[in-house]
Structure 1
Amino acid sequence: MKIKMSLLFLVINFCMVHAQQELISEIKNQTIVIDSLSKVIKKERDDLKLLNEKFKIKTDSINGLKSTLSKLEKFKNEKKKFDEQLKLKSDSISTLIKQKNEITQKISDDKMKYEQNMISEKEKTRLEFLNQITNFYNGKSFDELILNSSKNTIERDLKITGTTELKLLLNDLKVYFEARDLLDNRFNAEVTKTKLDNLNKIKQQSVLLEKLKDQLENYQSVNNGLIECLKSLIDLDMKGLVMSNSGHDKEVIQLKLNKIQTQISKFIFDFDFNHADYPYLSNVLSKVIKLKVPNPDADISKLLKNIE
């Protein structure tokens, strides 16, 4: 009985030990499983955290995109308004350009019409003026034309006249006036001969033309006569200056004045000198008289140089 009890106890003890060992083994296994699960859980938590962070980044990105999209929509709306305004401006500019082109064309047309009218009026005026010129010269003698014309008017009319016959007449008048100008200037033998030759080519019948020829033919002779007259007056000065006498004897002064007058009168008489015929020489003689009458001793040597 004791042996049975002991054996039973051993069996029970063995069973308990075995059960305890199995329990420990099971606990160990469960511990391993728990550790594995803990690691898995930790990994899942880490992954979840990472996912949360990524989700936050995506969310922020989405929010940013939403903001950008909102701005883009706003920009689209503003751009639409701007495009509408731009189109209005473009249409307005096109209208203005069209108006400008129309105005420019009108100005161009008006300018062309104005220029054509000006040309027409200018030609009309030229023809009228030419007709007046032709009428002025027609039917008048050469002497009448000389008396009613001038060198300037002749040169002006030569520029616009069209008829050959009138040009020939105007050229003859121009030769006459150019030759007559010599009498207003200091004598020049070479120029005087050339102008006289030109006068001799004129076929017009004219008293004034013949008179001018005579004046030019005699110009040198009259000029030399005035030179001799002035030299004789200077010779009188060389013989004595009456105004330097302390008493200024009136009879002595008058005597010299009479001699001066005699020399001047002799020149005028000998050459039948007409002041209007020789303007340059007449001007010199007038200056001599103006100097010598108030002062018989006045120096006229400079005047002599003007004609020598």
Structure 2
Amino acid sequence: MDNSTSATAVGKPDRPLPVTPGAQGLAGTSFKHEHLSAILADGLNNGFFEVHAENYMGAGGPPHRALAAIRADYPLSIHGVCMSIGGPGALDVNHLARFRDLVARYEPMLVSEHLAWSSHGRTFFNDLLPLPYTQDTLDKVCEHINQVQEAIKRSILLENPSTYVAFASSTMSETDFIRAVSQRTGCGLLMDVNNVFVSANNHGFSASAYLAEFPLEQVGEIHLAGHSEQHDDENELLLIDSHDRVISDSVWMLYRNVVSRIGPRPTLIEWDSNLPDWPVLRAQALTARRIMAEHGISLAGELSHEA
């Protein structure tokens, strides 16, 4: 059941379609090899799966055999985590070439990256690090996004970050920065609702106010995930974007808010550690589908069949 559609080949697009035609009501999950047999036995109608690009940059072997089995029946979303779009240095051309080849190999429905940096020189960090929102940073981010889009001949989606520190040197808000990036490069946006909730708690701003200022009209995909709670050195609550548990009620409420305003968008449940059995992850995707069904996508028969 291949619900993917061909992407228009673009170098530096003037304006991407925010939603891939036919994909509005799709709900999917992260693909983990531990779930392959269960997915093949009891999958997800009108679903899709997302993988981190860097896990599939080898030429072949078990990772590609598993992913090819999924791609035979489902659309894919390829999500980059190491491009360092927000880094001050040049993009790694070898990494970009492998990313380009992976996109060409699997022809995914969606391609995305993070508004973050993760490398400096030849050193790579196991994290997605924040950046200052300044004109110089804006110019560099746009240069990098244009370079990626030219390489893969299509537009990408840029994900809003979860952050734990902010730069005093920033001269614009995160939402204004993201809007400017989208306007200058033509990239779409990946709205990670959990990231908004995590950052709002950690920095003391209103998640609802952030969403009111975000360029939601350019959102082409939504991410949902679970977060964990810690406490900082001053015993203040600190939320971590851990992707290791069910989605909180507060994040589901924000998701309802987003969908009520812009309608359904392809929605992906991220779960990267402490993996549950497949039915638990599948149920989270079906919850997203039910919420989308309340706002313009008729899936009642399929939902009752899958419940």
Q: TM-score, normalised by structure 1?
A: 0.22
Which protein has the larger Cα radius of gyration, Structure 1 or Structure 2? 1
Q: Which has the higher helix share?
A: 1
Q: What's the TM-score once normalised by structure 2's chain length? A: 0.22
